């Protein structure tokens, strides 16, 4: 188990939450020849919530994470807890009907309530606070969108009203307020769930990558772990699967700044730009910080340095910044038809479950996914199971952007193979930077470290053989097709890949 107090991240930047977190007290070895009721793969909000629910229900469970608990997006989230979602209730109604939209709203609410009841029941000190959530429009088109959001929310009985008092310096035309939203420190929350889980008899195994499962006579085996059921709470299930065609990976950027003076907004605030900005205030390590997120783009596309630079420029345009305290980026998945996929994993053996495609709403959707999956593992009905069934087939008319996304995967698969720079560029590679180069006819993903050594890797993603791109901000190799990510030595940081990039001997 890692003994430093920072949770290692899936990139070079540490988030405000992953800083200075004591490791879990015990990493209990599985010494018994035991068959668990459930193996939960992934120690983010989905996995820990599911593990605790199942363990409390009397099941024998084990949770394995390839890294430390909180390594994934739950450690890099901005942790707004909302009653609304990126897929608006109007959009949900047009794709899934009135009943579907109502169920979706109920599911978001149930996820919200589950976090709140955990905080209350376990008395979790995770800076949980209730705040109003403002959503504003700056253009006439955005005003129209706001009207849609308002109508859709009222139809599914989510409380919302117009407001003229948004605590923002940005000039806006109209604004909505959703009362009683919430925010918290996701890592404090996660570690408290770990404590409760271990106290209830649950087993946590960190630094254990699950590369695949062998199934025989209804028992799934991964390494020395045997389980009757498996939940992939890995944000994206590993290896090639249907979700590679149904979810697009995106990066989002967060910068936490200290302001000159003490005028921090006491609310969650969102604009309606494309991509949108989201912000809130959090008291971290003895000081107020304004957390501003946005500038999202598809993983492995666009320039992460530019994304951070533009986000910082945006913040400085509207706020008097004294200093930048943290900046980080993380990954999320946009589902093709707007709703998450939660349930039995398609084309997998019986007893294998998964959850993915939360968009930017994984606090609520990850929590409710945990409830749905824990019910399914226990053989219970769950009212949301059909709506979120991963095997559903839905028309994707409303989500034409996604069609473009998949065409783009095919483009990268072919075009990037020819897009290498000239051979002598390896010599010009600056310390601390990476580049795709061709040397003696061999294509290389090359990184020069601060001592001048070259770390040379095959640039072919081990998931589906696309060519990775350099991410200069996180110092990672990111795949533009399905979002797999690797560190400078080729180690997998983010699935769906489970095998490292091959090293090239120089």
List the interface residues with ligand FAD, window 124-163 (CB under 6 A).
none
Asked if omega into 496 is within 30° of 0 (cis), the reply is yes
In whole angstroms, what is the distance from residue 287 CA to residue 290 CA?
10
User: Is residue 342 involved in binding ligand FAD (CB under 6 A)?
Assistant: no
Binding pattern for the stretch 467-506 against ligand FAD, x by CB under 6 A and - elsewhere: ----------------------------x--x--------
The least distance separating ligand FAD from the CB of residue 417, rounded to whole angstroms, comes to: 27
Q: Which of 72, 202, 357, 490 binds ligand FAD (CB under 6 A)?
A: 72
Q: Which of 16, 54, 64, 146 binds ligand FAD (CB under 6 A)?
A: 64
Q: 496 is written with which tokens?
A: 């769906």
User: Is residue 13 involved in binding ligand FAD (CB under 6 A)?
Assistant: no
Q: Which of 369, 340, 77, 368 is nearest to 233 (CA)?
A: 369
Q: Please identify the residue of the shown chain whose CB is closest to the bound ligand FAD.
A: 362
User: Is residue 43 involved in binding ligand FAD (CB under 6 A)?
Assistant: yes
In whole angstroms, what is the distance from residue 438 CA to residue 425 CA?
9
Segments in 291-393 forming alpha helices (H): 304-318, 362-377
Contact 490, 456 (CB under 8 A): no
Q: If you ran DSSP here, which 8-state letter would residue 501 be given?
A: P
Radius of gyration of the chain (CA): 22
**Number of residues binding to ligand FAD, judged by CB under 6 A:** 41
Scanning 30-38, 102-110, 324-332, 432-440 for contacts with ligand FAD by CB under 6 A, the matching segment is 324-332
In whole angstroms, what is the distance from residue 237 CA to residue 390 CA?
12
Scanning 71-79, 97-105, 168-176, 421-429 for contacts with ligand FAD by CB under 6 A, the matching segment is 71-79
Return the number of the residue (363 or 481) whose C-beta is nearest ligand FAD.
363
The rounded Cα 435 to chain-centroid distance in angstroms is: 26
User: Is residue 2 involved in binding ligand FAD (CB under 6 A)?
Assistant: no
Q: If you ran DSSP here, which 8-state letter would residue 334 be given?
A: E
User: Is residue 448 involved in binding ligand FAD (CB under 6 A)?
Assistant: no
Q: Which of 152, 304, 366, 459 binds ligand FAD (CB under 6 A)?
A: 366
Helix (H, G, I), strand (E, B) or coil at 80: strand
| E strand residue ranges, 126-206 | 129-137, 161-162, 174-183, 203-205
Return the number of the residue (362 or 437) whose C-beta is nearest ligand FAD.
362
Asked if omega into 223 is within 30° of 0 (cis), the reply is no
In the complex, the residues that contact ligand FAD under the rule CB under 6 A are 41-47, 64-67, 71-74, 76-80, 209-210, 233-235, 238, 252, 254, 293, 330-332, 358, 360-364, 366, 495, 498
């Amino acid at each position: 188990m890692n003994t430093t107090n920072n949770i290692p991240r899936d990139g070079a930047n540490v988030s405000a939450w992953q800083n200075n977190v004591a490791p879990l007290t015990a990493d209990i070895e599985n010494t018994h020849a035991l068959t668990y009721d459930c193996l939960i793969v992934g120690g983010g909000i989905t996995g820990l919530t599911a593990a605790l629910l199942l363990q409390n229900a009397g099941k024998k469970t084990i949770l394995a994470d390839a890294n430390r608990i909180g390594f994934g997006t739950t450690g890099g989230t901005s942790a707004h807890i909302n009653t609304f979602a990126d897929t608006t209730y109007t959009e949900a109604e047009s794709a899934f009907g009135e009943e579907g939209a109502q169920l979706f709203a109920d599911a978001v609410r149930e996820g919200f309530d589950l976090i709140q009841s955990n905080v209350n029941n376990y008395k979790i000190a995770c800076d949980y606070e209730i705040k109003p959530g403002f959503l504003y429009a700056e253009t006439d088109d955005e005003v129209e969108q706001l009207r849609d959001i308002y109508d859709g929310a009222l139809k599914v009985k989510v409380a919302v009203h117009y407001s003229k008092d948004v605590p923002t310096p940005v000039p806006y035309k109209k604004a909505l307020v959703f009362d009683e939203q919430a925010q918290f420190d996701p890592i404090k929350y996660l570690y408290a769930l770990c404590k409760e889980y271990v106290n209830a008899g649950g087993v946590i195994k960190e630094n254990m990558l699950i590369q695949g499962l062998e199934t025989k006579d209804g028992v799934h085996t991964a390494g020395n772990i045997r389980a009757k059921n498996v939940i992939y709470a890995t944000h994206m299930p590993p290896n090639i699967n249907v979700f590679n065609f149904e979810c697009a990976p995106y990066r989002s950027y967060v910068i936490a700044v200290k302001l000159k003076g003490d005028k921090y907004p006491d609310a969650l605030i969102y604009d309606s730009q494309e991509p949108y900005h989201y912000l809130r205030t959090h008291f971290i390590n003895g000081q107020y910080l304004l957390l501003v997120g946005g500038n999202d783009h598809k993983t492995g596309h666009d320039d992460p340095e530019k994304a951070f630079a533009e986000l910082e420029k945006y913040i400085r345009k509207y706020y008097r910044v004294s200093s930048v305290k943290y900046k980080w980026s993380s990954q999320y998945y946009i589902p093709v038809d707007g709703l998450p996929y939660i349930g039995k994993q398609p084309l997998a053996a019986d007893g294998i479950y998964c959850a993915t495609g939360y968009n930017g709403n994984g606090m609520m959707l990850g929590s409710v996914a945990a409830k749905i999956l824990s019910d399914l593992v226990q053989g219970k009905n769950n009212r949301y199971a059909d709506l979120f069934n991963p095997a559903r087939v839905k028309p994707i008319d409303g989500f034409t952007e996604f069609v473009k996304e998949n065409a783009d995967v095919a483009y990268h698969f072919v075009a990037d193979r020819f897009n290498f720079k000239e051979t002598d560029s390896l010599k010009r590679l600056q310390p601390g930077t990476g580049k795709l180069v061709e040397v003696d006819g061999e294509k290389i993903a090359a990184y020069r470290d601060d001592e001048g050594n070259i770390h040379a890797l095959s640039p072919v993603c081990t998931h589906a053989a696309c060519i990775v791109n350099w991410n200069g901000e996180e110092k990672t190799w990111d795949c533009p097709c399905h979002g797999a990510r690797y560190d400078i030595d080729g180690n997998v940081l983010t699935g769906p890949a489970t095998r490292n990039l091959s090293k090239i001997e120089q």
